[in-house]
């Protein structure tokens, strides 16, 4: 079965890489056909996988020098493990070119949030459940993002040097999943609880925000949860809109990492919560490695497929090792003599040799690798009341330790959990762990940072395959 994709993971300050050869995009698809001849060869400058007359070359010499023999003359890479159609193994490294690795890695910058409120169009803000009008129709002449993306507004909208910093009625500040406006804009559509600092819809009692800041014993601003609201503009007075446009998992995590609470030098954590449209509370506990992980992923391009013999492979030979890409083709040529008898005089005719069968050519595929940054993390998702109860001890412990809860929208939670579910299978295969199962313990996964256009292209491809 041909190789669909190659994935290599490298964690900073480590001297080894994990390699996964995906021979089926379904990691746990049963083996359909066992190849009659399969061979894995590791060289100082790359990896070769061959089966029958098909050969894949993964060159990494511009980034890594692979260790072929240790001081004792033993092969230092881990035993190859096979899971269904796929192979996973670890390789020790002699040298790592960090600058080349960084240059190979796709760098994703934080993008602006797609806010659907602009200073030129009057709008009103409504409850997302019952459509009760919370903030009357008006224009916000100054719209600005809170300086530290997801930071709690109390750190910005508070008294500094005896001067209050707070939004006026014409100003609107925003961050990931929230808006900050003047408290003077609140009307009869909401009720406030000064004891708890919360704001509710006066009709359906949904929690829609909280009071923030303090000046002379009075709150100076209101933080509204964007996922609990809907927007109506004068351009479309009968249409309820989302406050923000879609944001990819990569952009969500880039912003959330600003608020990660450090546990020690190597670990940070995030405690996320959301409310499903039917009112179900959900929690997501994340514990991440502080150091970034690099993922090298192949891009298959059929235009690179070439028919080559094994003799002209442009592979660097490592004279200090026998583990080069010296894969010899078996000689399948044959010749036969077919004696013929001649006339009545029994004159002998020299045998005519049968033409030799042409030696089969090997199809060689060079797999190009692209680098992506990301993080290795463990996550624990509580999506129902039963799961919230099962994970109550973890939630209580994190709260007691001062871990702050960050509210994200339900769509953000769905995207994050879907992404974690996808990459936990890759993480298990790469690190040669047991296949992921539903459990009350945190589950290992990766978050891979990719540009928005690539995320949407991947989602479109998945949709087409599913359809």
CATH of residue 235's domain is 2.170.150
168 & 136 share domain: yes
SS3 395: helix
Distance of CA 175 to the CA centre of its chain: 22
Q: Which domain holds residue 32?
A: 5-96+301-327+359-366
Length of the chain measured in residues:
467
In the chain, the number of structural domains is 3
Q: In the block, which residue shows the tokens 């079965």?
A: 1
Same domain for 54 and 80, yes or no, is yes
3-state secondary structure of 290: coil
Strand blocks (E) in 131-197: 133-138, 142-145, 159-160, 163-164, 171-175, 178-182, 190-193
Residues 141, 221, single domain; the answer is yes
Most confident of 56-60, 65-69, 185-189, 225-229: 225-229
Residue 321, token pair as written in the block:
């090792």
Residue 334 lies in a domain: no
Q: Return d(Cα 432, Cα 254) in angstroms, integer.
A: 28
For residues 322 and 390, state if they share a domain: no
Kindly state whether residue 344 falls inside one of the protein's structural domains: no
Of the residues 241, 258, 280, which one is the last residue of a structural domain? Answer: 241
Mind listing the pLDDT tens digit for each residue in 265-316? 899 999 999 999 999 999 999 999 999 999 999 875 444 434 333 333 333 3
Does one domain contain both 152 and 205?
A: yes
Q: What is the pLDDT of residues 363-386, one digit of tens each?
A: 888 888 999 999 999 999 999 999
- Whether 258 and 151 map to the same domain: the answer is no
Residues 261 and 401 in one domain: yes
Does 175 have pLDDT greater than 60? yes
Paired tokens of 322? 């026998």
The pLDDT score that the predictor gives to residue 466 is 64
Give the per-residue pLDDT at 325.
Answer: 33
Indicate whether 217 and 182 sit together in one domain.
yes
Is the pLDDT at 402 greater than 80, yes or no?
yes
Do residues 67 and 137 share a domain?
no
Q: Is 353 part of any domain?
A: no
At 274, which helix (H) or strand (E)?
strand 267-275
Contacts of 232-237 spanning 24+ positions with Cβ under 8 A: 232/123, 232/124, 232/125, 232/126, 232/137, 233/121, 233/122, 233/123, 234/121, 234/122, 234/123, 234/137, 235/121
For tokens 């910005």, name the residue. 156
In a domain, 17, yes or no: yes
Q: Is 63 exposed, middle or buried (0-12, 13-18, 19+ CB in 10 A)?
A: buried
CA dist 219 → 158, 183, 187, 198 (Å): 9, 7, 15, 12
CA distance 209 to 194: 12
């Amino acid at each position: 079965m041909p190789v669909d994709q190659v994935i290599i993971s490298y964690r900073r300050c480590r001297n080894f890489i994990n390699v996964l050869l995906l021979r089926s995009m379904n990691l746990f698809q049963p083996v359909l056909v066992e190849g009659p001849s399969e061979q894995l060869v590791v060289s100082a400058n790359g990896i070769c996988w061959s089966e029958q007359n098909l050969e894949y070359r993964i060159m990494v010499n511009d980034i890594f020098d692979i260790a072929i023999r240790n001081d004792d003359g033993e092969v230092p890479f881990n035993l190859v493990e096979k899971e269904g159609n796929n192979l996973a193994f670890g390789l020790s490294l002699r040298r790592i070119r960090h600058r080349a690795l960084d240059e190979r890695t796709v760098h994703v910058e934080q993008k602006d949030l797609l806010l659907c409120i602009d200073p030129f169009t009057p709008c009103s803000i409504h409850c997302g459940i019952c459509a009760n009008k919370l903030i009357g129709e008006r224009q916000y002449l100054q719209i600005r993002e809170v300086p530290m993306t997801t930071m709690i507004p109390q750190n910005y909208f508070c008294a500094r040097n005896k001067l209050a910093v707070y939004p006026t009625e014409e100003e609107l500040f925003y961050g990931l999943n929230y808006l900050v406006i003047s408290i003077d804009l609140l009307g009869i559509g909401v009720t406030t609880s000064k004891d708890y600092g919360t704001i509710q819809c006066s009709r359906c009692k949904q929690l829609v925000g909280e009071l923030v800041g303090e000046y002379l014993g009075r709150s100076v601003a209101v933080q509204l949860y964007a996922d609990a609201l809907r927007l109506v503009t004068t351009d479309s007075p009968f249409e309820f809109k989302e406050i923000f446009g879609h944001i990819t998992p990569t952009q969500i995590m880039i912003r959330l990492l600003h608020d990660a609470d450090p546990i020690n030098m190597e670990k940070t954590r995030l405690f996320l919560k959301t409310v499903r449209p039917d009112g179900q509370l959900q929690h997501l506990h994340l514990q991440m490695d502080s150091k970034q992980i690099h993922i090298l992923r192949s891009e298959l391009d059929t235009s690179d497929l070439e028919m080559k013999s094994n003799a002209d492979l442009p592979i660097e030979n490592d004279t200090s090792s026998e583990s080069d890409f010296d894969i010899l083709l078996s000689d399948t040529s044959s010749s036969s003599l077919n004696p013929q008898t001649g006339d009545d005089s029994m004159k002998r005719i020299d045998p005519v040799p049968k033409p030799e069968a042409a030696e089969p050519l090997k199809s060689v595929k060079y797999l190009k690798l692209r680098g992506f940054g990301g993080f290795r993390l463990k996550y624990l998702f509580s999506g129902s009341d039963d799961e919230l109860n099962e994970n109550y001890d973890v939630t209580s412990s994190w709260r007691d330790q001062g871990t702050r809860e960050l509210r994200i929208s339900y769509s953000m939670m769905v995207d994050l959990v879907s992404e974690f579910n996808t990459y936990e299978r890759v993480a298990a295969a790469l690190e040669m762990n047991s296949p992921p199962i539903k459990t009350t313990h945190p589950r290992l996964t990766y978050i891979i940072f990719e540009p928005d256009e690539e995320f949407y292209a991947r989602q479109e491809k998945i949709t087409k395959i599913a359809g």
